[in-house]
Amino acid sequence: MTTHFNHSVIGGKLLEECQTTHGRDTTKPPKDNDTRTGWGGAYKQCSWYYDQQPAVQMYDVENPRKASTAVANPDGSVYGDHKLIDLEWDIVRDSSFVLYFPYVVVQRLQATHTPTSNLVMPFVSFLAYKLHDDTPLVISGVRREHIDQHVAAARRNLYRDVSKRYFNDLMECKLEDLAVATGLDPRYKSFKFKFVEKWNRGNFTPSVGQKWLRDAFYSDWSGDKTDAAEQRSAPTVHTSEVVEMEIFLDCCGNTAINTV
């Protein structure tokens, strides 16, 4: 369908007529080339068809002869061979809700000119929370009470894959680096975001992340090279190093994502 609408001149003109009739933007479905991971293209395609469903269905019903005799696809098939049935429209609609969250997270984490290690823990936690079965699917105030069983199964599989890669299989030394970067970001330095307890096979707590940050500060950045273990066992006082760290933390940051 995407190939047809993007390459058929006749099909494109007929689609524009249907879009105008239903008050939709006269755009073509995006091709799957938005991001290196493919998440962007997958989401944008589903989102486009979800929004354009009335126009596309009008195209299917009112122009069957014209649609089927328009320019053939490279494999020899024509548009009519691939039009969506009701079940497939349900899958497109619900997939657009599920794929929105991987799309948002990947867009933020794949930056090439700015560091994003401070965002991995909060954003992956946010993604896992949004993919969990117990979390309602809500986008821009629209809530999906029930989703197609095929999409629900795919959502569960995606949640399991995210959990396995980040919460269970990630080496603790790498998680420690991510936690330190997260702790240096004043938006997330308290580690108070959803599903934070899932990290490190369920053994991570905010106090663990803050301890790792203190250890890194004393061992790597502090001018005082006293052993980190001695620093931790010393009475809790506001040394110049701690004050310096707090000032540094309070001077960083921008706006946080909504994790509610």
Measured CA to CA in angstroms, residue 179 lies from 53, 119, 127, 149, 213 at distances of 43, 10, 17, 36, 7
Rounded Cα–Cα distance for residues 14 and 112 (Å): 40
Rounded Cα–Cα distance for residues 54 and 75 (Å): 27
pLDDT of residue 120: 95
pLDDT of residue 241: 39
Q: Where are the domains of the chain?
A: 1-84, 110-260
Alpha helix positions (H), the chain: 2-7, 9-21, 39-51, 53-62, 64-68, 86-109, 117-131, 149-162, 172-183, 199-202, 206-216, 228-233, 240-250
Burial of residue 223, with CB atoms counted within 10 A of its CB: 0-12 exposed, 13-18 middle, 19 or more buried: exposed
Q: Which residues of 122-143 are buried (b: 16+ CB within 10 A; e: fewer)?
A: bbbbbbbbbbbeeeebeeeeee
pLDDT in tens, 46-67: 999 999 999 999 988 876 655 5
Which residues of the chain register pLDDT less than 50?
A: 35, 228-260
Query: Of 181, 193, 178, 205, which is closest to residue 253 (Cα–Cα)?
Result: 181
pLDDT of residue 33: 59
The distance from CA 245 to its chain's CA centroid, rounded to whole angstroms, is 32
Query: Of 150, 125, 158, 82, which is closest to residue 260 (Cα–Cα)?
Result: 125
Query: Of 254, 131, 141, which is closest to residue 194 (Cα–Cα)?
Result: 131
> What 3 state SS string does 24-35 have?
CCCCCCCCCCCC
pLDDT of residue 161: 96
Residues 58/17, Cβ–Cβ less than 8 Å? no
